[in-house]
Structure 1
Amino acid sequence: MEKNTKKKKIVLPVVPLRGKVAFPNALLSFDAGRKGTIEAIKKASAEFNGELLICTQKDTEKNDVTGEDMYTVGTLVEVKQATPLPGGAVRVLAEGKRRMKVKAFAEDECFFAECVPLLPVHGDPVLEEAYLRSARSLVNDVLLSDGKLGKETAARLDNCTDADEYVDAAINAMRVRLDVKQAILQETDVVERLKLLERCLNDELEIAKIEKRISSAVRQNIERSQKDYYLREQLKAIHGELGDDGKEQDKYREKIEQKNLPDYMKEKCLKEADRLSRMQAASPEYTVITGYLDWVLDLPWTEETKDTEKLSDATAVLEEDHYALEKIKERIVEYLAVLKLTGSMNAPILCFVGPPGVGKTSIAISVAKAMNRKLYRISLG
């Protein structure tokens, strides 16, 4: 195919570019490895005075592309340098010249495009200047927070007076999404381009604020963790000097971890064990905490005994342990029978009333023995 010299219709070799958008008046570096791309670069150097069209690829993961896989607005660039790389790839340095609108793609040894220049549309100059000043302010806010490199870029952009060129230079310097850059590239109305740029910059400033808050929170957490670690190490050293090496606290922690406690109780016990590590063994509160932990760890939180299923065995135990008391023993057997049938009685309470010595405690012991349960005696008065 031959190069068309008419200004309104130009035929150029095409490079489908992944992950980047080329802009006018900006240098672009990329590595070319696909056969068609390398052929397009060769054609540009040999037949088109180093000029080719760069169109961004829609799907960056796709390797074999067609014309439908590329955006129809790209940038005419001039290849400044093409350096061969190991494996047959080529590293290209190119300079953007102007935006182009593709009318049709054609494929031979590489892609070619019939395209026309995409010219900017200027409107009200006062409105355009107002949006340009607003965009400059936002661009400076974004770039000046980016260290020395950002300050150099901001200084370079300040020398740009044309609104259309300013948009190209500013968006090319920003780390924004590919689709956002492409949308700005293909917009022709200068005021609309400035609006898109402002919207993008406001998003970037908001993201920067969120990142700063996250970074500050992470730094505070790290500093707090380092402080806690330092103080704990000092506390260990103090305990060592006092002859209290903290082994008892470690034993409690180990017991708490091994005991199948509910989450809320496990958290409470570990907290109390941590308090022990900050106390001296001679402290009165130290004894209170150890007593509390011993009591909690002795309780059968999730331990269960298997109830006897034979009512005859329960009756035999009650008859063996107590003489007479027929109504009481009969009531207990009825309770056990209902419990066996239903499987649950919503934790009923049996209340034995009478003066001392009539057998209330011994009946309770017999009930536990008859049901094959452990008996815990708790005095409430």
Structure 2
Amino acid sequence: MDCRLTADRLPEELPVLALREFVVFPYMVLPLFVARERSIAAIEEAMDGDRLVLLVAQRNPETVDPDPDDLYQVGTVAMVMRSMRMPDGRLKVLVQGLGKARIDSVIEQRESTWVRASALEGDAEGADDWTVEGEALTRAVRTRVEELLPLKNLPPEVLSITTNVQNPGRLADLVASNLQLRLEEAQEVLEIADPLERLRKVDALLKRELEVSSLQAGYQTEAPAESQDEFSRDHREAFLRDQLRAIQNELGEVDPRSEEFDEYRLKVEEANLPEETREEAVRQLRRLERMHPDGPEAQVVRNYLDWVVELPWDRCSPDQLDLDRARAVLDMDHAHLSIVKDRILEFLGVRKLREDSRGPVLCFAGPPGVGKTSLGRSIARAMGREFVRVSLGGVRDEAEIRGHRRTYVGALPGRIIQGLKTAGTSNPVMMLDELDKLGADFRGDPSAALLEVLDPEQNKDFSDHFLNTPFDLSKVLFIATANMLEPIPAPLRDRMEVIRLSGYTPEEKSEITTHFLIPRQIAEHGMSEDQVSFTKNAIASLSAEYTCEAGVRNLERQVAAICRKVARKRAEGDESKATIDTKSLDKLLGPPPYRSDHASEEAEVGLVNGLAWTEAGGEVLSLEANLSRGRGLLLTGQLGDVMKESGQTALSYVRSILAEIGVDEREFGKQQVHVHVPAGATPKDGPSAGVAIATAIASLATGVEVRADVAMTGEVTLRGRVLPVGGVREKAMAALRNGIKTIVIPESNVADLREIPKELKKRLEFIPVKHMRDVLDQVLVEPLDWQPRKRVSLSTRASQGGGMPAHASGPDAPSRRD
């Protein structure tokens, strides 16, 4: 078959295929992998026509989408012999070079590039064009090829082919195609039209390559052992890889495993890993290269490398240090919560003055629904950082925090490292939600693993079992949330700055409902604010009579229920504007489940309004006490041990003052005191009900009613001292919700009244007390006639049948006389 290219065989127009890093010579048969869209289009258009395509080298191999000016003017016209689509979308084509051509003009197409080209005659000489110089050059080139063959590991077929080629131009092209010349040198050989001149150029290149290869072989065989040791392993591996890659490219073979290793190696270099982590990643990559690709251990190593190169080791998002903007963002997302907002602004202020300042470890503690979780998202937006939420509720395995060791099947890093990968930066706002719901079992204690995470002195070198190398967590702003602080271990609690979020006042709830909840629910139900409106009285009724909580979660559900019913009416054709008032609330939501009538309106004996703190905020407890035949104290209402002990202490105190308040101690000792704390199905505990229980027992003993418009809180001692308690703000709001405006508090809690808003404080009257005498004088309807305490010796009381002194005896100690 005559494969020579002549002017009459060259079509008028033909597509161009740009080549990177190599030149195709005439009469070469080689496979090509085509990946660029314009190149694929050129091959497909050639296959639809006469199968001819012009192969032209790029001047710059790095150019992704070359223009005509980026291509050399001389190329090789080739025939596409076969074409096959690869699974990754590339084309594998087999081409044969036919002859040289020069580009005359370019015809731009939308899909590919076409040109008008003219054939370059110059290799059409036959065997009769024999010259002495040509024969000498041909023999010299064959000799040099034979000498170079063992030094360059050229295929043996090259020597047999050169022996049978008599044409100087073809011989030059054949030898040049196997010399692995630089792009510029190969293109220079291709563009030489005169066959003898081209063969001279190839002979010069052969002579140079023979000298370099001989010198290299001499160094490799004569260098001493110590010189060989000077080459590092990395350099030797790089050299061998380059040779292997060159051989594969020459053979048209691409090893997918080599591509995978090269991709990992490039990612490791681009990840800017710490030195220790980079050494570990390189070591694991070397292990992977020696493993069977389908083995289970190889998959473990791949998983490890994927995690290492994708983690944000040095990627940080810049902080937004504009304090006015941060304040505006926080106010836009949340009403009130000034303590938290001020703390974040303080941190930003310090960060503005010192960029390397450590982030605080905050803990938002408060009842459900007050906005702890959403506040973390708002803080991240105000600071310009990414936000990651890690839910810790129900977590019992230490590996959830520190990660699994890679020896386990399906091992993964812990939730902290996973959160950083999700964020994509090393300084996100990371919220550890429901910290007080952590558990512990035989798999370890997650709270102990969090000690290193939340300690600013240690988290710079946090060690995850999966990574097995340190990771810097000092740039992360950790924010934990909890409903109660008691379940959190003391060492963990000590590492955090606790900020308590109390419940909202009725006025704050109304404001939040008006500016946040109602607009959000109207938008979520596909309506606009001009289609639905709420009156102020309706909003106040929603927050006071349809919900009873410290937060606004159930309040938003009630607003959503109203919006659903209004949306249904509009979907049925009612286009009128819906105005929600107190009358329509009863139709839409039914009767109010929470009326402000929990407190008794009439004073009664043994009935006291106590105040308690729960996870949901403050509550009013109506303690009921009664006398019956028997002895001692009976406490009911699912009370905890601390509250039971407070009841015993209260009874002992009242017994010690019976003589002072004019009550017969022997008659009172024949009665059993029964104290019940509704509701019976709700667990209760704590010492703050001691004052209320003592007041109820004193009311029973004296028969004097207790004021119904007063609530009280405080711990009582055997001597009658009133000790401070917590949750004064929540308890005050609970009293206000139940229509009680007078509150008895320990005098030591007066400082806590600063947490109560001024508008709320104006509506309440606080009575600070130091002793139970002060409490009884304030809450009993009739004042007691206190008698001076008589000193009675132990022997006198024993002779009178009184037994041990009341203040020193147990409440259930039987009397010696009936």
TM-score range, shorter chain: 0.5 to 0.7
Aligned to 2:203: 198
Aligned to 1:120: 122
1:114, distance to aligned residue in structure 2 (A): 0.7
Which protein has greater RCO, CA pairs closer than 8 Å, 6+ apart? 1
1:224, distance to aligned residue in structure 2 (A): 9.1
Within 2, Cα distance between the matches of 1:65 and 1:164?
Answer: 30
Alignment counterpart, residue 176 of structure 2, candidates 168, 171, 181: 171
Within 2, Cα distance between the matches of 1:189 and 1:176?
Answer: 20
Within 2, Cα distance between the matches of 1:41 and 1:172?
Answer: 23
Instruction: Specify whether residues 110 and 209 from structure 1 end up closer, same or farther in structure 2 by C-alpha distance, changes over 3 A only.
Output: same
Aligned to 2:340: none
* Pairing 1:155-304 to 2, within 5 Å after superposition: 155-218=160-223, 220-221=225-226
1:87, distance to aligned residue in structure 2 (A): 3.0
Gaps of 5+ in 2: 1-6, 231-818
Aligned to 1:135: 141
Please say if residues 32 and 89 of structure 1, whose CA atoms lie closer than 8 Å, have aligned partners that are also in contact. Answer: yes
Aligned to 2:44: 42
Aligned to 2:81: 80
Instruction: Specify whether residues 73 and 219 from structure 1 end up closer, same or farther in structure 2 by C-alpha distance, changes over 3 A only.
Output: farther
1:91-141 CA-partner distances (Å, limit 9, x unpaired): 111111111111112221211111111111778822222222222211221
Within 2, Cα distance between the matches of 1:8 and 1:154?
Answer: 32
1:63, distance to aligned residue in structure 2 (A): 0.4
What SS does structure 1 have at the residue aligned with 2:117? strand
Aligned to 1:55: 56
Say whether residues 1:102 and 2:103 are aligned partners: yes
1:322-345 CA-partner distances (Å, limit 9, x unpaired): xxxxxxxxxxxxxxxxxxxxxxxx
Please say if residues 9 and 116 of structure 1, whose CA atoms lie closer than 8 Å, have aligned partners that are also in contact. Answer: no
What SS does structure 1 have at the residue aligned with 2:133? helix
Within 1, Cα distance between the matches of 2:60 and 2:229?
Answer: 45
Please say if residues 151 and 214 of structure 2, whose CA atoms lie closer than 8 Å, have aligned partners that are also in contact. Answer: no
Moved over 4 A (4+): 5-9, 121-124, 222-225
What SS does structure 1 have at the residue aligned with 2:156? helix
Aligned to 1:366: none
User: Letter of the aligned partner of 1:25 in structure 2?
Assistant: Y
Please say if residues 11 and 112 of structure 1, whose CA atoms lie closer than 8 Å, have aligned partners that are also in contact. Answer: yes
1:199-240 CA-partner distances (Å, limit 9, x unpaired): 110110111022113312446436899xxxxxxxxxxxxxxx
What SS does structure 2 have at the residue aligned with 1:96? strand
User: Letter of the aligned partner of 2:68 in structure 1?
Assistant: G
Give the TM-score of the pair, scaled to structure 2.
0.26
Give the TM-score of the pair, scaled to structure 1.
0.54
Instruction: Specify whether residues 16 and 164 from structure 1 end up closer, same or farther in structure 2 by C-alpha distance, changes over 3 A only.
Output: same
What SS does structure 1 have at the residue aligned with 2:155? helix
The size of the alignment, in residue pairs, is 219
What SS does structure 2 have at the residue aligned with 1:60? coil
Instruction: Specify whether residues 131 and 12 from structure 1 end up closer, same or farther in structure 2 by C-alpha distance, changes over 3 A only.
Output: same
Within 1, Cα distance between the matches of 2:202 and 2:229?
Answer: 40
1:169, distance to aligned residue in structure 2 (A): 1.0
Instruction: Specify whether residues 155 and 89 from structure 1 end up closer, same or farther in structure 2 by C-alpha distance, changes over 3 A only.
Output: same
Please say if residues 137 and 199 of structure 2, whose CA atoms lie closer than 8 Å, have aligned partners that are also in contact. Answer: yes
Larger fraction in helix? 1
Quick check: which has more Rg, 1 or 2?
2
Gaps of 5+ in 1: 226-381
User: Percent of aligned positions with the same letter in both sequences?
Assistant: 25
Please say if residues 24 and 98 of structure 1, whose CA atoms lie closer than 8 Å, have aligned partners that are also in contact. Answer: yes
Please say if residues 152 and 213 of structure 2, whose CA atoms lie closer than 8 Å, have aligned partners that are also in contact. Answer: no
1:146, distance to aligned residue in structure 2 (A): 3.7
User: Letter of the aligned partner of 1:141 in structure 2?
Assistant: E
User: Letter of the aligned partner of 1:214 in structure 2?
Assistant: Y
Instruction: Specify whether residues 136 and 84 from structure 1 end up closer, same or farther in structure 2 by C-alpha distance, changes over 3 A only.
Output: same
Aligned to 1:24: 26
Aligned to 1:294: none
Within 2, Cα distance between the matches of 1:218 and 1:175?
Answer: 26
User: Letter of the aligned partner of 1:58 in structure 2?
Assistant: R
Within 2, Cα distance between the matches of 1:158 and 1:72?
Answer: 32
Within 1, Cα distance between the matches of 2:228 and 2:175?
Answer: 38
1:7, distance to aligned residue in structure 2 (A): 4.6
Please say if residues 128 and 190 of structure 1, whose CA atoms lie closer than 8 Å, have aligned partners that are also in contact. Answer: no
User: Letter of the aligned partner of 2:48 in structure 1?
Assistant: A
Within 1, Cα distance between the matches of 2:67 and 2:80?
Answer: 23
User: Letter of the aligned partner of 1:211 in structure 2?
Assistant: Q
What SS does structure 1 have at the residue aligned with 2:14? strand
What SS does structure 1 have at the residue aligned with 2:56? strand
1:152, distance to aligned residue in structure 2 (A): 2.4
Aligned to 1:305: none
Please say if residues 16 and 42 of structure 2, whose CA atoms lie closer than 8 Å, have aligned partners that are also in contact. Answer: yes
Question: RMSD value over aligned CA atoms?
Answer: 2.3
What SS does structure 2 have at the residue aligned with 1:127? helix
Within 2, Cα distance between the matches of 1:16 and 1:223?
Answer: 42
Please say if residues 31 and 89 of structure 1, whose CA atoms lie closer than 8 Å, have aligned partners that are also in contact. Answer: yes
